[in-house]
C-alpha cells in the first residue's frame, strides 16, 4: 500500500512539458471557438409545437441571454450571422449567451409541411417562447427581432414583461394589415412570385432596382429553398397578424431601441411605433445607407448602437466605443403632423471623444448614422 502511494505521489508531482501544456491550451481554445461559431442545435418541445433553436455560449451566465427572432424569408443564420459574427460584436458575444430561435419549419433544410397543415399564428408563435427560456433555464432575455421576428418578440414582451430586460426591434410594424394592404397583397400574389413578394418586404426599392449583391444572394437562396412551402405559410401568418394596439398606457415596460433603414419599406411603420412608446425608455435609430436589412448591410453601425443600448441597461460599462462615438450625429425626434408628414429636425453634433455614454433616456432620440 505504501509503495503504491509513493508511486502515485511521484506521478502527480511530475510537471507537464511546456509544449504539451501550450498544445492542450490551444486545443481547448480552438474547441471553444468552434463551439461558439457553430452553436449547439436543440429541438425544443413547446405546448404549440417544436422549435429549432441554436445556443451560443453557456447556460450558466448570470446575465440575461440575447434572444433573437428572424424575419420572413430568412432563418436565424441568414438573418443574424453577419451581425453576431462581426468582429466588433465579439466583445458582446463573449459576455452574453445567444439564443437564436427559428420560426416553425424555417430552419435551413427543414422538411416541408404537408398540404393542409395549419401553421401557427403570430400570437401562437409568441406563446412558444416561454418554453425556450424554461428549456435553457434563463429567467430574463434581451430580445433582438427583425420584421416578423420583431412583431413576435413584441407580442411575447407584452405578455411576459418580467422576462424581457430590453428590446431591439428592427423594421417593426405593430399594425394589422388594412383592407387596402390586403387588396394590394392579393394583387401582388397574382402578379409576383412568392420570392419577389418577400424580397419587396425585406429590401428597399432602391436595393431591388439596383439588384444589389445581397438581393441577388437572397433571391437565389429563397428560390432554391427546400422548405419554400413553409416559408409561404410563415409569410401568410405574418400578413394575418393582429394590431398590437400599443399606446402610452399599454406599452413595453423595458428599454426599447427601434431600428430602421432610411429607405426601408417599414420606415413609416417604425416611426408610427416610436410615437406610441414611452419616450423616456425608447431610442429611435434611423440608419443612412442601410437599406431594408441594416443588420446585413451595416453591421458595424448597428453593433456600436447595440453597445450603447447594452451600456444604458447597466451592462458592459467599460466597453470600448469605436465608430459611432467618433463619427455620429444625433437629432431630436422629428415631430409629426396628423397626416404623418415629418417636419425638419434640429441636428446636434456630438463631440469626437470616444467612450461616451449613450444619450439620456429622458427623451427619444433619432440617430442618423
Q: List the chain domain ranges.
A: 37-314
Secondary structure class of 318 (helix, strand, coil): coil
Question: For residue 233, is it left (φ>0), alpha (ψ between -120 and 50) or beta?
Answer: alpha
Question: Alpha helices, DSSP H only, in the chain?
Answer: 2-13, 18-38, 76-84, 90-93, 122-126, 129-136, 148-159, 179-191, 194-202, 205-210, 213-223, 228-239, 267-276, 294-297, 299-312
Secondary structure class of 346 (helix, strand, coil): coil
210 contacts: CB under 8 Å, gap ≥ 6 = none
β-bridge partners, 214: none
The answer to whether the CB of 23 falls within 8 A of the CB of 35 is no
The answer to whether the CB of 170 falls within 8 A of the CB of 147 is yes
Around Cβ 271, how many Cβ atoms within 10 Å? 19
Q: What is the CATH number of domain 37-314?
A: 3.40.50.1820
Around Cβ 298, how many Cβ atoms within 10 Å? 22
Q: What is the pLDDT along the chain (369 residues), one digit of tens a residue?
A: 444 444 444 344 444 555 555 555 554 444 445 445 568 999 999 999 999 999 998 877 789 999 999 999 999 999 999 999 999 999 999 999 999 999 999 999 999 999 999 999 999 999 999 999 999 999 999 999 999 999 999 999 999 999 999 999 999 999 986 545 545 555 555 557 999 999 999 999 999 999 999 999 999 999 999 999 999 999 999 999 999 999 888 999 999 999 999 889 999 999 999 999 999 999 999 998 888 999 999 999 999 999 999 999 999 876 655 554 444 433 333 333 333 333 333 232 333 333 444 444 444 445 555
Taking the C-alpha atoms of residue 3 and residue 79, their distance in angstroms, rounded to an integer, is 63
Amino acid at each position: 500500500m505504501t509503495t503504491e502511494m509513493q508511486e502515485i505521489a511521484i506521478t502527480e508531482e511530475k510537471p507537464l512539458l511546456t509544449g504539451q501544456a501550450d498544445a492542450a491550451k490551444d486545443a481547448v481554445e480552438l474547441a471553444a471557438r468552434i463551439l461558439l461559431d457553430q452553436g449547439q442545435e436543440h429541438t425544443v418541445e413547446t405546448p404549440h409545437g417544436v422549435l429549432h433553436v441554436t445556443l451560443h455560449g453557456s447556460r450558466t451566465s448570470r446575465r440575461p441571454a440575447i434572444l433573437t427572432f428572424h424575419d420572413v424569408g430568412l432563418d436565424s443564420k441568414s438573418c443574424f450571422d453577419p451581425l453576431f459574427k462581426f468582429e466588433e460584436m465579439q466583445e458582446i458575444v463573449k459576455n452574453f449567451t445567444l439564443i437564436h430561435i427559428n420560426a416553425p419549419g424555417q430552419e435551413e433544410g427543414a422538411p416541408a409541411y404537408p398540404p393542409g397543415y395549419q401553421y401557427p399564428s403570430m400570437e401562437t408563435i409568441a406563446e412558444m417562447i416561454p418554453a425556450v427560456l424554461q428549456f435553457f433555464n434563463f429567467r430574463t432575455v434581451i430580445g433582438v427581432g427583425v420584421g416578423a421576428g420583431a412583431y413576435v418578440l413584441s407580442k411575447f414582451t407584452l405578455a411576459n414583461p418580467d422576462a424581457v430586460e430590453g428590446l431591439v426591434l428592427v423594421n417593426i410594424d405593430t399594425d394589422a394589415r388594412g383592407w387596402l394592404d390586403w387588396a394590394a397583397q392579393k394583387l401582388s400574389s397574382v402578379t409576383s412570385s412568392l420570392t419577389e413578394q418577400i424580397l419587396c418586404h425585406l429590401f428597399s426599392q432602391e436595393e431591388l432596382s439596383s439588384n444589389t449583391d445581397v438581393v441577388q444572394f437572397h433571391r437565389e437562396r429563397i428560390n432554391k429553398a427546400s422548405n419554400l412551402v413553409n416559408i409561404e405559410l410563415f409569410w401568410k401568418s405574418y400578413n394575418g397578424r393582429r394590431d398590437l394596439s400599443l399606446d402610452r398606457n399599454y406599452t413595453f415596460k423595458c428599454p426599447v431601441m427601434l431600428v430602421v433603414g432610411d429607405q426601408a419599406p417599414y420606415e413609416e411603420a417604425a416611426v408610427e411605433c416610436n410615437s406610441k412608446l414611452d419616450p423616456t425608455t425608447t431610442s429611435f435609430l434611423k440608419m443612412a445607407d442601410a437599406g431594408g436589412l441594416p443588420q446585413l448591410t451595416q453591421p458595424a453601425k448597428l453593433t456600436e448602437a447595440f453597445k450603447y443600448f447594452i451600456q444604458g441597461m447597466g451592462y458592459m460599462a467599460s466597453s470600448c466605443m469605436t465608430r459611432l462615438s467618433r463619427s455620429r450625429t444625433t437629432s431630436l425626434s422629428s415631430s409629426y403632423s396628423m397626416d404623418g408628414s415629418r417636419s425638419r429636425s434640429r441636428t446636434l453634433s456630438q463631440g469626437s471623444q470616444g467612450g461616451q455614454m449613450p444619450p439620456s433616456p429622458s427623451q427619444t432620440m433619432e440617430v442618423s448614422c
